Amino acid sequence: MQIEFEFATATRIIFGEGALRQVAPAAKQWGRRVFIVTGRAPERADQLRADLEAGRAQCFAFAVEGEPTVDLIARGLERARERQCDVVVAMGGGSVIDAGKAIAALLTNPGELMDYLEVVGKGNALQNPAVPFIAVPTTAGTGSEVTRNAVLGVPARQVKVSLRSPLLLPRLAVVDPELTLGLPPAVTARTGLDALTQLIEAYVSIRSNPVTEGFCVQGIPLAARSLRRAFHHGLDPGARREMSLAALFSGLALANAGLGVVHGFAAPLGGRFPASHGAICAAILPYGMEINLRALRARAPQSDALRRYQEVARMLTDRADASAEDGIRWTRDICLELEIPPLKAYGIQEHDVAALIAEAAKASSMKGNPLALTPEEMREVLTRSIRGSDE
Ligand SMILES: [Zn+2]
């Protein structure tokens, strides 16, 4: 067996409480005009800004509200170009980090975003290295701080597409669990369940290998024992630390192993409906697992993914005798406890299913699924995630 692992990750990762203070000294090596991308509460970056200014950097702020779109990236890019910024720091959730990645890369590449976007744009390859980019996640979810794509919305086409290039990888990822202390329970739930979904999908992926497995077998138990605690006790530093690590591992695993049916559906759903990525993934996860398991037993009984689903169940339940079904039950229970609504809560209806199946079948994440699902099976995954019942 050949193992391939591309170090498709941020060049350097600093993890730990207080790591935020490492951003300014790193930025100082690379430039003096810093473009700071934040979420809708820019004051959360006050400490960062003070540190940068104490090191004589000039700072220019840009706030991303909601998920990033092509227009928003164009506005940010224009501002960063005008100010001649030579470093980009993004401090926020996955959306903010993805916006920062795109702006940092386009600052050094000619033309506009559409020239480089897949599916809806020309899909040209980025040519020049981005300006140095530092990613500082404030949620424990996407793992975007270590991956090489940025997910951007194109509202006119009702899709979300990726800008992809190894040149998008952050120069530095600073993961400081203290930044996630006190995140609202709903945000903790959906981001944490996204990380857990990514760990499970990467673990059972047909592209998984012993290197990516290492991240998953470390990450799944961390999320399993800390997600409830982080949800109910948002100021628990131990739970927040473990969730930040789990999210980081999920990004490291998926960048090499890929994902599966849950993320395959998340791509088209996220472009058409006003639901966050994590909430969509969480609502689909139990059904994606159940139908994958059934299909594997019927058509690929020799598949190693069957053993892996059982292993997932052991890690989730912390019980050596857990069956794969116990793992599915565990995910269903945690979605209930963390108040994840079924997809119908976002206006997704059963007459949308056919079009969504066709789009999901083309999604790049689908290629990692442990086996190819039939259209009927895909329909069942989505219909049950919409209804959220077990009939
Ligand atoms: Zn995800």
Answer whether 253's CB lies under 8 Å from 308's CB.
Answer: no
CA of 329 to the centre of ligand 1 (A): 21
Q: Give the residue from 234, 343, 284, 266 showing the smallest Cα distance to 94.
A: 266
CA of 302 to the centre of ligand 1 (A): 28
CA of 217 to the centre of ligand 1 (A): 18
Sequential pLDDT tens for the chain (391 residues):
677 767 666 679 999 999 999 999 999 999 999 999 999 989 999 999 999 999 999 999 999 988 899 999 999 999 999 999 999 999 999 999 999 999 999 999 999 899 999 888 899 999 999 999 999 999 999 999 999 899 998 888 888 888 999 999 999 999 999 999 989 999 999 999 999 999 999 999 999 999 999 999 999 999 999 999 999 999 999 999 999 999 999 999 998 899 999 999 998 898 889 899 999 999 999 999 999 999 999 999 999 999 999 999 999 999 999 999 999 999 999 999 999 999 999 999 999 999 999 999 988 889 999 999 999 999 999 999 999 965 4
Angle between helices 375-387 and 353-362 (to 10 degrees): 120
pLDDT at position 66: 81
pLDDT at position 391: 45
CA distance 147 to 252: 7
User: Token pair for residue 174?
Assistant: 């600073």
CA distance 150 to 190: 19
CA of 83 to the centre of ligand 1 (A): 33
CA of 94 to the centre of ligand 1 (A): 9
CA of 336 to the centre of ligand 1 (A): 19
CA–CA distance from 128 to each of 31, 145, 152, 166 (Å)? 17, 20, 20, 11
Answer whether 254's CB lies under 8 Å from 211's CB.
Answer: no
322: CB partners within 8 A, 6+ apart: 310, 313, 314, 316
Sheet with 172-175: strands ordered across:
12-15, 172-175, 133-137, 87-92, 33-38, 58-63
CA of 278 to the centre of ligand 1 (A): 6
CA of 216 to the centre of ligand 1 (A): 14
Sign of CA dihedral 155, 263, 327, 389: positive
Residue 7: how many CB atoms within 10 A of its CB?
11
- Output the pTM of the full model: 0.95
User: Cα 104 to the chain's mean position, in Å?
Assistant: 19
CA of 292 to the centre of ligand 1 (A): 18
Helix (H) or strand (E) holding 350: none
CA 170-40-93 angle, to 5 degrees, is 35
Beta strands in the chain (DSSP E): 12-15, 33-38, 58-63, 87-92, 133-137, 149-154, 159-164, 172-175
pLDDT at position 290: 98
CA distance 323 to 384: 22
CA of 243 to the centre of ligand 1 (A): 14
CA distance 64 to 138: 14
CA of 263 to the centre of ligand 1 (A): 6
- Bridge partners for 62 per DSSP: 37
Answer whether 108's CB lies under 8 Å from 128's CB.
Answer: yes
Can you tell me which residue has the tokens 């999920």?
250
User: Token pair for residue 383?
Assistant: 């219909």
CA of 198 to the centre of ligand 1 (A): 6
CA distance 253 to 264: 17
CA of 271 to the centre of ligand 1 (A): 14
CA of 195 to the centre of ligand 1 (A): 6
pLDDT at position 322: 98
CA of 197 to the centre of ligand 1 (A): 7
CA of 189 to the centre of ligand 1 (A): 13
- Bridge partners for 161 per DSSP: 152
CA of 62 to the centre of ligand 1 (A): 24
CA of 98 to the centre of ligand 1 (A): 13
